[in-house]
Amino acid sequence: MINILFVGDIVGDGGCKIFKETLAALKAKEKIDAVIVNGENSDNRNGISKSSAEYLFSAGADVITGGNHSFRNNDILEMMDSEEALLRPENYSKKASGHGVCIIDKLSYKIMVLNLAGRIYMDPAEDPFSTAKNIISKHSDCAVKIIDFHAEATSEKAALAHYLKGSVSAVLGTHTHIPTADAQIMEGGTAFITDVGMTGPRHSILGVEVENIVQKFITGMPVRFHQAKGDCVFCGILLSVDEKTGKTAQIKPINTI
């Protein structure tokens, strides 16, 4: 068995810092073999930047996944093209910078990581269902397959998990920043959770200053969002996966909320 840690949407400097601080202890305690993080909000300006990506890699991330904020900062685009382990959703336009799939090669086994975006209430994207099937068929030599499905609708996340059950190790939902209580292992050894949650400011609304969001709802007017500061929470999922079959034996939420 191998242990894979997936960390939910990392927000700003605070999220980056608590990821680094928490990972060291978790690696020792849980004997973690690979670390995947969603870093599309890891820069304080929103989105992901070259500096925040470099920080997450240096802190211990093997792969950084993205989402609808992946392209917010221009300084990340060149790195997206050159860094194999920095992903954006694979079902975005082929003309967009970057790529959405990579392989973690641990010599004795490989882990395929696929990043997908939903289409309900999200930016335009190609069909995540057919995209997933296509990528899976191209990597039949890789038993362990982890999918970050960055999507808004819970129904779309669950539908993809059911569609792929038995053919991937895990379908892990991101984007909504709220950890859900439905972690499970589906038929065929596929782990699923609707949303892993957020690693970032505790006193916030999805990582944004509370006052910004409240003002927007009260006035109905555009408001400039600022990332919240202060004490942070850590949200992640620990998977125990058979590296030979790709089937997940255990899915365990890890959070400090």
Over residues 110-138, mean pLDDT: 96
The whole-number pLDDT of residue 52 equals: 96
Residue 38: give its domain's CATH number.
Answer: 3.60.21.10
Average pLDDT over residues 28-48: 93
Structure tokens at 165: 């059950």
Q: For residue range 188-208, what is the model confidence (pLDDT) as tens digits?
A: 999 999 999 999 999 988 888
244 neighbors 169 (Cβ within 8 angstroms): no
Mean pLDDT, range 41-59, rounded to an integer: 94
pLDDT beyond 90 at 79: yes
Give the HSE-up count for residue 181: Cα atoms under 13 Å, Cβ half-sphere.
1
> Per-residue pLDDT averaged across 235-255, rounded?
97
Q: State the DSSP string of the chain.
A: -EEEEEE--BBHHHHHHHHHHHHHHHHHHHT--EEEEE-TB-STTSS--HHHHHHHHHHT-SEEE--TTTTS-GGGHHHHHH-TTB---TTS-TTSSS-SEEEEE-SS-EEEEEEEE--TTSS----HHHHHHHHHHHTTT--EEEEEEE-S-HHHHHHHHHHHBTTBSEEEEESS----S--EEETTTEEEES----BEESSSBTTB-HHHHHHHHHH-S-----B--SSEE-EEEEEEE-TTT--EEEEEEEE--
Output the pLDDT for position 207.
86
Q: Which residues are catalytic?
A: 69
Which phi and psi angles does 116 have, rounded to 5°?
Answer: -130, 155
Question: What confidence tens digit (pLDDT) does each residue in 199-232 have?
Answer: 999 998 888 888 999 999 999 998 888 888 889 9
The percent of residues above 70 in pLDDT, for the chain, comes to: 100
Our count of domains for the chain comes to: 1
Q: What is the pLDDT of residue 224?
A: 87
**Structural domain span for residue 251:** 2-255
Interatomic CA distance for residues 26 and 48, integer angstroms: 24
Please provide the average confidence, as pLDDT, over all residues in the chain.
95
pLDDT tens track for 144-173 = 999 999 999 999 999 999 999 999 999 999
Confidence label for 254 from pLDDT (cuts 50, 70 and 90) = very high
- Predicted local confidence at residue 208, as pLDDT: 86
For residue 103, what pLDDT band results from cuts at 50, 70 and 90? very high
State pLDDT tens for residues 4-16.
999 999 999 999 9
Of 175, 235, 181, 229, residue with least CA distance to 207: 229
pLDDT of residue 44: 87
Distances, alpha carbon 194 to alpha carbons 162, 189, 236, 254, in Å: 12, 16, 12, 15
Which residue in the block uniquely carries the two structure tokens 């089937």? 247
Q: Which residues contact 109 (CB under 8 A, 6 or more apart)?
A: 2, 143, 144, 243, 244
User: Do residues 106 and 35 touch, judged by C-beta distance below 8 A?
Assistant: no
